[in-house]
Amino acid sequence: MKTEKLLDEIGQIDDCIIAEAHTTTLKLKSTRRTWYRWVSVAAACIVIAVIAVVIPKQSDDFPELPMLTISEDTGGYGFEGYMAHDISELQNGNPWSEADTIKSLPVFQNPTSYDSVGRAIKGLSADEMIQKARDTASAMGLSIDSISVRPTEEELQREQEKIRSVPGNEDYEPNATPSSVEAVCGDVTIEIEANGYVRVVFENGVQLPDEYSFTYYDTSEQQAKDVMQYLLEQYEPIVAMESPALDLFGDYNIYAQRSFSYNAYENSGGLTERILGYNFNRVSFSPDDDGVLWIIDRYSVDLSQKLGDYPIITAQKARELLLQKRYITTVPEELPDEEYIASVELIYRTSRHDEVFMPYYRFLVEIPTMQMDNGLKIFGAFYVPAVEEQYLSNM
């Protein structure tokens, strides 16, 4: 009985410890030896990013570039995999293609950092967020009923009580730095985060004209394109892009329903600018179950802290590194044989866990051991840094 009770008590341990044991896996491998890295509780839960700069490295074409450290902290749980009958169904709007020959791409410092409970503590000030909320409301022709800065006193108090109740944290003081602002405009709420993200929530939804289908599961690709054109025009003051391009992405769930994510990005300028637009300057529209517009998310990342233009390896070279098992992944399986590599694209990893925004090649690889009974395949994501190895301190 005592061991049963102990087993139950262990079941109630801290969520962060449970998450840590889940996210810590064999992640990065070198050709010389296999190694793994333990992600600390802080990294799994609090998400302190590794990173950045260290020793200047020189070459003729790229003088004095800071060394970069690859962040292995994926921050998420579960693994990154997409379901589809065929890889062709997983196309997206990425302006990069394998035929492009890019010699270099910029790398940026993430201007925002986050505290132990995931709140942004560096970025826009409270005044700047309030101004941005007012500008957004004004652009939408809304008047603000109330505006509040978060975390509120009540939220801080609750957080303090919760964390202090864990032995060893009796002196915990929550960080009161403003992390977001919420403006209520009737049944519309505008949220501004310190990282500059804007979210507009229509509490009662916005009914679209009858000719448009805007749902999670019952909208075809053409219907998705049509409704996106309508939404981009209708919400142009929030979208505020010179040349928006669609980024529709539709994968399947376990019930074989295909759901689209309705995104667009700034597609003006040369290829590098378009790649940056695709990764850092985006807008997303989300429906609710009734097919009405529920949420608009507008991401426009501050890229003012550029570390430099770094030389980039080719997709072919990245493929070689992938096959040498020099990748980062959350897929809980070994990389299958080369024949299962289904696609490659060049992307920036832009999560809040990345202290540096740098480019990677993302390979989608069919995982043959995970094929579903209904014929759907699972394609797992494997990342290989695109920056040349000599600028990476832990490659």
Partner 1 sequence: MDDNMIIDLYWARSESAINETALKYGNYCLKIAINILQNQEDSDECVNDTYLRAWNAIPPQRPTIFPSFLGKITRNLSLNKYRKQRTKKRGGYEVALLLDELEDCIPSGRSVEAEYEAGVIAKTIDSFLYSIDAESRIVFVRRYWYVDSIRSIAARFQMNESKVKSMLFRTRNKLKIYLEKEGMTI
Nearer to partner 1, 8 or 210 (CB): 8
Nearest distance from residue 10's CB to partner 1, in Å? Answer: 5
Cα separation, 298 vs 351, whole angstroms: 15
CB 299 within 8 A of CB 280: yes
Cα separation, 192 vs 128, whole angstroms: 10
The token duo for 34 is: 């296999």
Nearer to partner 1, 202 or 310 (CB): 202
Helices (H), the chain: 2-11, 15-23, 41, 126-139, 153-164, 221-234, 236-239, 271-280, 315-323
**DSSP output for 254-294:** TTS-EEEEEEEEE--SSHHHHHHHHHHEEEEEEE-TTSSEE
Nearest distance from residue 145's CB to partner 1, in Å? Answer: 21
Nearest distance from residue 265's CB to partner 1, in Å? Answer: 18
Residues found near partner 1 in the complex (CB under 8 A): 2-22, 24-26, 34, 36, 38, 40-41, 45, 76-78, 83, 117-118, 165-168, 216, 253-255, 257, 286, 288-289, 294-295
Residue type, 173: E
CB 202 within 8 A of CB 187: yes
Nearest distance from residue 48's CB to partner 1, in Å? Answer: 14
Nearest distance from residue 104's CB to partner 1, in Å? Answer: 31
Nearer to partner 1, 184 or 307 (CB): 184
Nearest distance from residue 379's CB to partner 1, in Å? Answer: 14
Residue type, 158: R
Cα separation, 235 vs 245, whole angstroms: 15
Cα separation, 127 vs 130, whole angstroms: 5
Nearer to partner 1, 159 or 309 (CB): 159
Q: Which residues pair with 105 in a beta bridge?
A: 310
Nearest distance from residue 259's CB to partner 1, in Å? Answer: 8
**Residues sharing a CB contact under 8 Å with residue 298, sequence separation 6 or more, in sequence order:** 197, 198, 199, 200, 238, 239, 282, 283
Nearer to partner 1, 67 or 117 (CB): 117
3-state secondary structure of 210: coil
Nearer to partner 1, 2 or 32 (CB): 2
Tokens 């986050």 identify what position?
114
Nearer to partner 1, 11 or 209 (CB): 11
